[in-house]
Amino acid sequence: MTRVLTDRALGRATLARQFLLERADVTALAAVEHLAGLQAQAPTPPYLALWARVKNFAAEELSTLIERRQVVRLVAMRGTVFVMSAADAASFRGTVQSIMDRDLHTNTAHRAALSGMDLAALAQAGRELVSEGPLTQMQMRPLLAERFPGRSPEGLAHGIRGLLPMVQVPPRGLWGRSGPPALTTLESWLGTELDSTPVPDALVLRYLAAFGPASVKDAQAWSGLTRLAEVFERLRPNLMTFVNEKGTELFDLPGAPRPDDGTPPVRILAPFDNILLSHADRSRIMDEQYRTRVFTVNGIIKPAVLVRGKVVGFAAESAKGDTARLTVSLFSQQSKTAMSSIEREARSLLRFLHPTISKHEISVEILT
């Protein structure tokens, strides 16, 4: 009989692989690779994701990796910006390229500009435009308008972003600096030709290592790809299988951790944290009734607060003058032990975010 994994067991397994049961004593580069990249729609979330997961993480470590081109920012899974290692960037992007190809024909804002377009010519134009140095999309637009008159330059620039693996170069994404997303090709940035042949089997195995046990639909939710059932079938002989409480089949790596004891610690996650975005069924980490409180209607995903491995609220941080503040909003009253742990984690987060500000204020509210 196939073993049933409860939501509690699934949550613990995923937390273990996400370094959220215990902060891992690893380098930032090792963490980025193990986690199969980090959601990076804004510059700060990857730093907060690593702070929550890596022991003694220093923000400058990730900044240095970006400056040294060992870590890059580019559009990948789900068609959103990720931070990932240079070693992973080409294969990950090549495997999910079909998402960007589909977007060229379905994006309501830009598809008219790309309709009937010679996409190979557009891609070549993009390579040529950035051959002498990175450009922002705003800088690309008038140059593209000259080459392709009569078409929306905004749509053309968007097309290049989808057709080519374009890296957002520093200072974009650096801790405390950042800047507009200037782009160049991944090949140019790394100074080497890259093999972007799709490797869906390898991508699924990396996903399971970071987020398993998981279903086919879970892997599709994380990657943005469709038709992964055939990939799982190819891999089935070398995978373990389970079912969740709803009877859905789950797959996992034989040697992956599935701990069954201990109490998960309090953690404050990053905005857009990948653990909230990487399963079709989020019940292992968050009750559905709370989703709309964490996921806003305008696409923002708040920094979630985990207690005993489940989302129990969210946090909001601000700083003004000599004071840094963090407000924790809880969906229900927590135990005294949990409240003390939340305050400790909140103070640690403020020290990380604002090391030069000495006055830290923590407030907790119970939402009704």
Query: Mean pLDDT for the chain?
Result: 95
Closest by CA to 171, choosing from 64, 77, 272, is 64
pLDDT tens for 287-324 read 999 999 999 988 899 999 999 999 999 999 999 989 99
Q: pLDDT at position 186, please?
A: 97
Please give the full DSSP string across 152-209, using - where no structure is assigned: -HHHHHHHHHHHS-EEE-TTTT-TT---S--EEEHHHHHTS-------HHHHHHHHHH
Q: pLDDT at position 35, please?
A: 98
Supply angle C-alpha 214, 215, 219, rounded to 5: 80
pLDDT tens for 167-222 read 999 999 999 988 899 999 999 999 988 888 999 999 999 999 999 999 999 999 99
**Does the pLDDT value for residue 328 go beyond 90?**
yes
Closest by CA to 73, choosing from 52, 98, 45, 95, is 45
**Does the pLDDT value for residue 332 go beyond 80?**
yes
Q: pLDDT at position 368, please?
A: 79
Closest by CA to 77, choosing from 175, 207, 205, is 207
